[in-house]
Amino acid sequence: MAFRVTANPLLLAGTKLLSAVILLAALAGVLFPEDPFEMVGRPFLPPLSDGFLFGTDTLGRDIAAAVAHGARVSLAIGVITALISTFFGVVVGGVAGYYGGRIDMLLMRTTELFQTVPAFLLAIVVVAVLQPSIYTVISAIVIVSWAPLARLVRGEVVSLRSREFVQGCIALGMSDARILFRQILPNALPSIIVAASVAVATSILFESGLSFLGLGDPNVMSWGLMIGIGRSVIRTAWWIAGIPGIAVLITVLAINLFGDGLNEALNPRSAQRNSKG
Amino acid sequence: MSEPRHTDAAAPSPAPVRVSPARQQWLYARRRLVQGIPTVFLIITGNFFLLHLAPGDPADVLAGEAGAATAEFMAQLRAQFGLDEPLYLQYFKYLLRTLTLDLGYSFRYGESNLTLIMDRLSATLLLMVTAVTMSILIGSVLGLIAAVRRGTVVEAMILLAAVLAYAAPTFWLGLMFIVLFAIKLNWLPTSGISTVGAGYTGLQYALDVARHLILPATTLALFYFALYARLMRASVLENLGQNYVITARAKGLAPRRIILRHVLRNAILPVVTMAGVQIGGMLGGSVIVESVFGWPGLGLLAFEALFARDLNLLLGILFLGSILVVLANLAVDLAYAIIDPRVTIR
Whether the pLDDT of residue B2 is over 50: the answer is no
In this predicted structure, what is the pLDDT of residue A275? 45
pLDDT band, very low/low/confident/very high, at B346 (cuts 50, 70, 90):
very low
Rounded to the nearest 10 degrees, what angle do helices A119-130 and A185-212 cross at?
Answer: 70
Query: What is the separation of C-alpha A242 from the centre of its chain, rounded to a whole number of angstroms?
Result: 21
Q: Which residue has the higher pLDDT, A259 or A49?
A: A259
pTM of this prediction exceeds 0.95: no
Q: Does A120 touch chain B (CB under 8 A)?
A: yes
Question: Percent of chain B, pLDDT > 70?
Answer: 84
Whether the pLDDT of residue A269 is over 70: the answer is no
Mean pLDDT in chain B?
Answer: 80
Q: From A197, A191, A185, select the one nearest A92 (Cα to Cα).
A: A185
Asked if B325 lies within 8 A of A128 by C-beta distance, the reply is no
Please give, rounded to a whole number of angstroms, the shortest distance from the CA of B186 to a CA of chain A: 12
Asked if B284 lies within 8 A of A121 by C-beta distance, the reply is yes
In this predicted structure, what is the pLDDT of residue B1? 36
In this predicted structure, what is the pLDDT of residue B81? 65
Q: Is A260 exposed, middle or buried (0-12, 13-18, 19+ CB in 10 A)?
A: buried
In this predicted structure, what is the pLDDT of residue A110? 87
Whether the pLDDT of residue B341 is over 80: the answer is no
Please give, rounded to a whole number of angstroms, the shortest distance from the CA of A26 to a CA of chain B: 22
In this predicted structure, what is the pLDDT of residue B275? 84
Mean pLDDT in chain A?
Answer: 85
pLDDT band, very low/low/confident/very high, at B61 (cuts 50, 70, 90):
low
Please give, rounded to a whole number of angstroms, the shortest distance from the CA of B3 to a CA of chain A: 6
For A50, other C-beta atoms within 10 Å of its C-beta total 6
Whether the pLDDT of residue B197 is over 50: the answer is yes
Tell me the per-residue pLDDT of B212-253, one tens digit each, with 9 for 90 and over.
Answer: 999 999 999 998 999 899 899 988 988 888 888 888 888 888
* Mean pLDDT across B55-74: 65
pLDDT band, very low/low/confident/very high, at A277 (cuts 50, 70, 90):
very low
* Mean pLDDT across B132-143: 92
Which residue type, as a one-letter code, is found at position B59? A
Antiparallel, parallel or unpaired: β B111-112 and B105-106: antiparallel
Residue window 137-176, chain A: list those with CB within 8 Å of chain B. 158, 161-162
pLDDT band, very low/low/confident/very high, at A61 (cuts 50, 70, 90):
confident
* Mean pLDDT across B281-306: 89
Please give, rounded to a whole number of angstroms, the shortest distance from the CA of A232 to a CA of chain B: 10
Asked if A99 lies within 8 A of B4 by C-beta distance, the reply is no
* Mean pLDDT across B123-138: 92
Which residues does A173 contact at the CB level (< 8 Å), separation at least 6? none
Whether the pLDDT of residue B136 is over 60: the answer is yes
Nearest-angstrom CA–CA distance, B83 and B91: 10
pLDDT band, very low/low/confident/very high, at A79 (cuts 50, 70, 90):
very high
Q: Among A122-126, A158-162, B18-22, name the one with the lowest average pLDDT.
A: B18-22
Chain B residues within an 8 Å CB radius of A210: none
Does an H or E element contain B199, and which?
A: none
Q: Among A136-140, A143-147, A191-195, name the one with the lowest average pLDDT.
A: A191-195
Nearest-angstrom CA–CA distance, A170 and B264: 46
The residues that bridge with A49 in the sheet, in sequence order, are A52
Chain A residues within an 8 Å CB radius of B276: none
In this predicted structure, what is the pLDDT of residue B5? 39
Whether the pLDDT of residue B102 is over 90: the answer is no
The residues that bridge with A39 in the sheet, in sequence order, are A61
Give buried/exposed letters for B253-292 (b at 16+ CB in 10 A, else e).
Answer: eeeeebbeebbbebbbbebbebbbebbbbbbbbbbbbbbb
Residue window 206-235, chain A: list those with CB within 8 Å of chain B. 208-209, 212-215, 224, 227, 230-231, 234-235
In this predicted structure, what is the pLDDT of residue B56? 67
Whether the pLDDT of residue B13 is over 50: the answer is no
Tell me the DSSP string of chain A.
----GGG-HHHHHHHHHHHHHHHHHHHHHHH--S-TTSB-S-TTPPTTBTTBTT-B-TTSBBHHHHHHHHHHHHHHHHHHHHHHHHHHHHHHHHHHHHH-HHHHHHHHHHHHHHHHS-HHHHHHHHHHHH-SSHHHHHHHHHHHHHHHHHHHHHHHHHHHHTSHHHHHHHHHT--HHHIIIIIIHHHHHHHHHHHHHHHHHHHHHHHHHHHHTT-S-TTS--HHHHHHHHHTTTTT-HHHHHHHHHHHHHHHHHHHHHHHHHHHHH-HHHHHHHH--
Q: Which residue has the higher pLDDT, B65 or B296?
A: B296
For testing the chain A interface, which of B172, B173, B232, B317 should be mutated: the one with the most A CBs within 10 Å?
B172
In this predicted structure, what is the pLDDT of residue B17? 54
Q: Does A117 touch chain B (CB under 8 A)?
A: yes
Highest mean pLDDT among A49-63, A118-132, B187-201, B247-261: A118-132
Does an H or E element contain B101, and which?
A: none
Please give, rounded to a whole number of angstroms, the shortest distance from the CA of B201 to a CA of chain A: 31
In this predicted structure, what is the pLDDT of residue B196? 76
Asked if B309 lies within 8 A of A128 by C-beta distance, the reply is yes
Asked if B172 lies within 8 A of A248 by C-beta distance, the reply is yes
Which residue type, as a one-letter code, is found at position A151? R
Please give, rounded to a whole number of angstroms, the shortest distance from the CA of B293 to a CA of chain A: 11
Whether the pLDDT of residue B47 is over 80: the answer is yes
Which of A116, A128, A249 is facing B311, going by the closest CB pair? A128
In this predicted structure, what is the pLDDT of residue B336? 72
In this predicted structure, what is the pLDDT of residue A92? 94
Whether the pLDDT of residue A81 is over 90: the answer is yes
Chain A residues within an 8 Å CB radius of B329: 116
Which residues does A10 contact at the CB level (< 8 Å), separation at least 6? A257, A258, A260, A261, A264
Asked if B171 lies within 8 A of A209 by C-beta distance, the reply is yes
Which residues does B246 contact at the CB level (< 8 Å), separation at least 6? none
Whether the pLDDT of residue B139 is over 90: the answer is yes
Torsion of the alpha carbons at B316, B317, B323 and B329, rounded to the nearest 10: -170
* Mean pLDDT across A108-134: 88
Which of B3, B168, B169 is facing A100, going by the closest CB pair? B3
Whether the pLDDT of residue B70 is over 80: the answer is no
Tell me the per-residue pLDDT of B300-330, one tens digit each, with 9 for 90 and over.
Answer: 998 888 887 788 888 889 888 888 888 888 7
Q: What are the angstrom distances between the C-alpha of B244 and each of A83, A84, B261? A: 44, 45, 12
Tell me the per-residue pLDDT of B158-196, one tens digit each, with 9 for 90 and over.
Answer: 988 998 998 999 999 999 999 899 888 988 888 888 777
pLDDT band, very low/low/confident/very high, at A2 (cuts 50, 70, 90):
very low
Q: Does A197 touch chain B (CB under 8 A)?
A: no
C-beta of residue A248 within 8 angstroms of C-beta of residue A205? yes
Please give, rounded to a whole number of angstroms, the shortest distance from the CA of B314 to a CA of chain A: 7
